[in-house]
Chains A and B, each alone.
Chain A
Amino acid sequence: MRKILCLLLLSTTLHAATPLRVVTVGGAVTETAFALGSGDVLVGVDTSSTFPEMARALPQVGYQRALSAEGIASLRPDLVIVSANAGPPTALAHLAALKIPVLRLVAGDSLDGATTRVLQMGEALGREGEATKLVEKIASEVGARVPLAAHSPRVLFVMSLGQGSPMVAGRETAAAAMLELVGAQNAGNAIQGYKQFSREALVLLDPEIVVTTSRTLAANGGEANLAKLLPGLEITAAGRSGRLIVMDDLFLLGFGPRIGEAAQELATKLNEPSRRAER
């Protein structure tokens, strides 16, 4: 009898340890919480949490690198999960001083990083089983992507934060990591980070395909304008064939739970024949 009582007590304490009011900071963090089935315990998200649609209805705690400790505390969370980028450090220190547990996820734009973060969150949210399943699903999706054609294409990734001045993705960017994951060559690898590119250098690189994000396209008023912002592109292979791939920012570059789907979609699109050749 006593044993049963003990077990009962233990199970209730274990249950109580599962957080019931969680704030997530980071687009992929919020996405993972929903993917693990913990969407209903979220009480606040940051501005980068745009997926799924339900996340947009939650209270906003602001930009992930300019968090306010008092603002987050006012939501009375029993767990705050933040991406490695979150800050400022003083805000996180203040949360710790208020005895609000803060879980900082590992950094890394890689498949490894993505799956580690899923497991970290599964443990913190009491969803270990779901997390393991999600990691398996990601692995199988990445494995099941279409292999690229015999030669890996030279791909130019362009992105602009506001209007105009598109930047090319170089080494050590999420875009480069994603291209590597599907086996394509990043044409911008000569530079590091996101930089503006000279038009002659662009011609010299001769990319075969251009990849950009839907936000970049929307900010610049569509495909025709984007081409104008990249002078020199028209004389490259990509410009002549008109091969442009557009994908959602968070989906393609978030390295969150949809990384497997994103890899599949990117690989499929990279394999599509050029549009002009079809016509």
Chain B
Amino acid sequence: MTLAKGSAFCVFLAILSAVVALISLRTGAVPISWREMVGGGDSVGSMVFQTMRVPRLLLGFLCGGALGLCGAAMQGLFRNPLADPALVGVSGGAALGAVAAIVLGGPFLSHSIYILPAAAFFGALAAAILVHVIATRGVRVDVPTLLLAGIAINAFAGAGIGWMIYGATDSQLRDFTFWSLGSLAGAGWDATLGCLPFVVVAAGLLAFRARALNALALGESNAWHLGVSIEGVKHAVLAATAFAVGAVTAFTGTIGFIGLVAPHLVRLAVGADHRLVLPGSFIIGGCLLCAADVIARTARAPAEIPVGIVVASLGAPFFLGLLLREKRARA
């Protein structure tokens, strides 16, 4: 990596996020004037801006960013570009927690908007801890066991979800379906501020692990010989993923694909150096989700499309296009 390339990439990221943020803040069902955006006041426009647009942009950025960052870290840990946070059971656990809250929560659910996210978060955390503990011998995390334990815990969560769905009423079923499509519609300051500490902790855990992940790409024993604390980085990646992805999934439902595609885009642009891939995946992931959300809330306004649908239906063809271009370039 040359220094010039790195700084050019950083400038690009800064411009991209500014553009996405501006578009996101400017578009929506309610027309909002520049004065209402800047000046505040209590007109409907400025209230919508303060209580919905801004927290929604921030939640989208945090959520997409966390998914991108953890996706990049997981891919580094597994040394496989197909890895994503769902692999260690986080999404499955969150979904089980959410469906349990929807089906069993009943009357309690209407008392507090935090019950569902809390259940989803603890579901995610429990699944991730279980996978982590199963794969750990002494202080050593065995990566192949991690993968298998993740598959087993996901299957177990799937069975639990099946039981819950079996006992669910029609409307509970639909609630869960919509939850699993993912949406930022519930965004307010409480959801945004609820996610923030977990994403900050995750970013902190991964902040100084880029070199270790680079070394890990050479294989565990080579990384060890390079003097890298390979067990440290494994624990950090798992903890960060459980925290950040668990928290954002709890508030937005399952949003797939960003964890996979954001790191891939960054690697296509600047190569595999984790010092750029980790922060780059955070910002690209955040921008992707916010851009998708603009479409989700304007395409069929005043109704709204779950953002997960938009991410997948635009992201998948785009990703395929990139793969085909890469293939042609290689041939």
B-contacting residues of A (Cβ < 8 Å)? Answer: 44, 47, 59-63, 65-76, 85, 87-91, 93-94, 97-98, 161, 193-195
Contact = CB atoms under 8 A, between A and B. Distances in A.
A67 B302 CA distance: 9
A68 B186 contact: no
Contacts of B48: 70, 73, 98
A74 B302 contact: yes
Contact of B300 (A60, A85, A89): A60
B303 A68 contact: yes
A93 B188 contact: yes
Nearest to A69: B52
Contacts of A44: 302
B110 A66 contact: no
B185 A91 contact: yes
B30 A73 contact: yes
Contact of A62 (B30, B53, B113, B304): B304
Q: Which of B28, B47, B301 has the most CB of A within 10 A?
A: B301
Given A65-B171, A98-B44, A71 B52 contact: no
Query: Which 4 pairs from chain A and chain B are nearest by CB?
Result: A62-B303, A71-B302, A74-B29, A68-B304
B169 interface: yes
B186 A88 contact: yes
Given A73-B30, A97-B47, A194-B170, A66 B302 contact: no
A148 B168 CA distance: 33
Contacts of B301: 68, 71, 74
A76 B45 CA distance: 11
Given A65-B178, A88-B185, A71 B297 contact: yes
15 contacts: A44-B302, A61-B303, A66-B306, A69-B52, A70-B52, A71-B29, A71-B301, A73-B29, A74-B28, A90-B113, A93-B188, A97-B51, A98-B44, A193-B168, A193-B169
B75 to A, nearest CB: 32
Contacts of A76: 44
A90 B75 CA distance: 35
Interface residues of B, number: 34
Given A69-B52, A71-B29, A90-B185, 17 more contacts: A44-B302, A61-B303, A62-B300, A65-B178, A66-B183, A67-B185, A70-B28, A70-B53, A70-B297, A71-B301, A88-B185, A90-B186, A90-B191, A93-B188, A97-B51, A193-B167, A194-B169
Given A73-B48, A194-B170, A94 B28 contact: no
B184 to A, nearest CB: 10
Contacts, number: 95
Nearest to B187: A90
A66 B178 contact: yes
A47 B52 contact: no
Contact of B188 (A65, A66, A90): A90
A75 B167 CA distance: 38
A161 B51 CA distance: 36
A93 B303 CA distance: 17
Interface in B200-221: none
Contacts of A97: 47, 51
B175 interface: yes
Contacts of A63: 174, 178, 303
Q: Which of A62, A71, A72, A161 has the most CB of B within 10 A?
A: A71
Interface in B31-52: 31, 44, 47-48, 51-52
Given A70-B52, A73-B44, A91-B185, A65 B191 contact: no
A94 B302 contact: no
Q: Which of B29, B301, B302, B306 has the most CB of A within 10 A?
A: B302
A70 B29 contact: yes
Contacts of A87: 175
A204 to B, nearest CB: 21
Nearest to B167: A193
Contacts of A94: 51-52, 188
A74 B185 CA distance: 15
A74 B171 contact: no
Contacts of A47: 303
